[in-house]
Amino acid sequence: MSRHEHPIQRMLTANAQWAEDVQRAEPSFFEQSAKGQSPHTLWIGCADSRVPDSIVTGSKPGEIFVHRNIANQLKLDDYNALSVLRYAVDYLGVEHVVVVGHTECGGAAACLAAAQDVNLDLDKPIATVGSLPPDSSLNRWLEPLTRLAVSLELSSTPHEEALPLVVEENVKMQVENLAKTHAITEAWTKGTRKGQDVWIHGWVYDISTGKLRDLNVSRGPPPKKPLAETPVCAEPEEYIPVDEPVYGQPSDYIHVDNALPYYYEEPEEYNPIKAGPAHYGVSEEYAQVDKPPKAGPIQVFA
C-alpha cells in the first residue's frame, strides 16, 4: 500500500486485506456475524477519531453497540441517542451502558473557554463557538456542557487543570441523564424484554496513555448495587470460582486468578437524583425516576 495513496482508496484497500486476514484466521467469523449480533455493552462516546471503541477495548465486531457524538452527551430530548439506547437494552439485550469521555476533548475545551469568558451572558443563548451564531446546531448542542463548565467555577483555574474536571463532570452528568431515561428506569423497575440486568457506568479514556479509567459512578437495578471497590474479605457460604472473563472481555485483557465471586447485597438506602448541573438540557417529559439505586464503585483488579 503506497504512503501517498488517496485516503479513501487506502481504506478500501486496507478493508480488503483485513477481510482476507479474518477469513483466513477464523473462517466462520463472517458467516456467524451475518446471523445476528449479541453485544454485551452499549458504548456512548465522543466522535473523536482518537478513541476507537473496539480497538481500545480489544473487542471484536459484534461485541460493542456504539453511539458517538460531540463530547459524549446523552440528552433526554435527543431521539437519536434515546432510540439507540432503547434498541440496545430491549432488543439486543446489552447488560452494560458505558458513557466514555476522554482527555483533550475538543468539545469540552471549547465549552471551558466559553465558560471562562468574562463577557458570557447566561441569560441569553450561548455561542460556545464564537464564529457561529448561538442558534447554530453546534452551539445548541454544546450549550448544556458550557453551562456545566460555568457551574464548576473554574474561571481562575489553569486550563490544564480545569479541562480534566470538565471532562469528568460531563461524564457524570451523562450517567445521571442515563438514569432518568425510560429505557433504563423501566429496565430497573419492570425488567427487560430479554431478562438481563442492566448497569450504567462512566469512564474516561486517556489519549496520552491509551488507558481507560473508571470514575466509580456505576449503577444497577435495585436491590443490587455496584461491586465493592475492594475484594470481598470473607467467603460467602458457597464459593464459586471465577472461570469466565469479566464482562465478556478477552482473558488476555483481564486476569482474575483467585478472586472471590461477585455477589450482591441490599443497599442501605437509595439516593434520589439531586437537582444540579446534571439537569441542564433535560426534558421534564423524560425525567421520571424517583429513587434510582445507590451509586458505587466497581471492583478494581490488580
- Which candidate in 40, 48, 96, 279 is catalytic? 48
Which residue, 155, 173, 150, 221, is CA-closest to 76? 173
Distance CA 16, CA 19 (A): 5
Query: Residue 124 burial by CB count (10 A; 0-12/13-18/19+): exposed, middle or buried?
Result: exposed
Which residue, 251, 283, 281, is CA-closest to 111? 281
135 is catalytic: no
In the β-sheet with 96-102, what is the strand arrangement from edge to edge?
A: 64-69, 41-46, 96-102, 199-206, 211-214
Distance CA 167, CA 149 (A): 9
- Which candidate in 102, 147, 201, 219 is catalytic? 102
- Which candidate in 50, 159, 193, 255 is catalytic? 50
Listing DSSP states for 92-141 in one string gives I--SEEEEEEETT-HHHHHHHHHHT-TT--TTS---SSTTS-TTSHHHHH
Distance CA 294, CA 204 (A): 21
- Which candidate in 46, 78, 96, 111 is catalytic? 46
159 DSSP assignment:
H
Would the annotation count 48 as a binding residue? yes
Would the annotation count 214 as a binding residue? no
Would the annotation count 105 as a binding residue? yes
50 is catalytic: yes
46 is catalytic: yes
The single residue listed with the C-alpha cell 482508496 is: 9
Would the annotation count 182 as a binding residue? no
Question: What's the alpha-carbon Rg for the chain, to the nearest Å?
Answer: 21
Going by the annotation, the residues of the binding site are: 46, 48, 102, 105
Q: Which segments are annotated as binding site for Zn(2+)?
A: 46, 48, 102, 105
Active site (catalytic) residues: 46, 48, 50, 102, 105
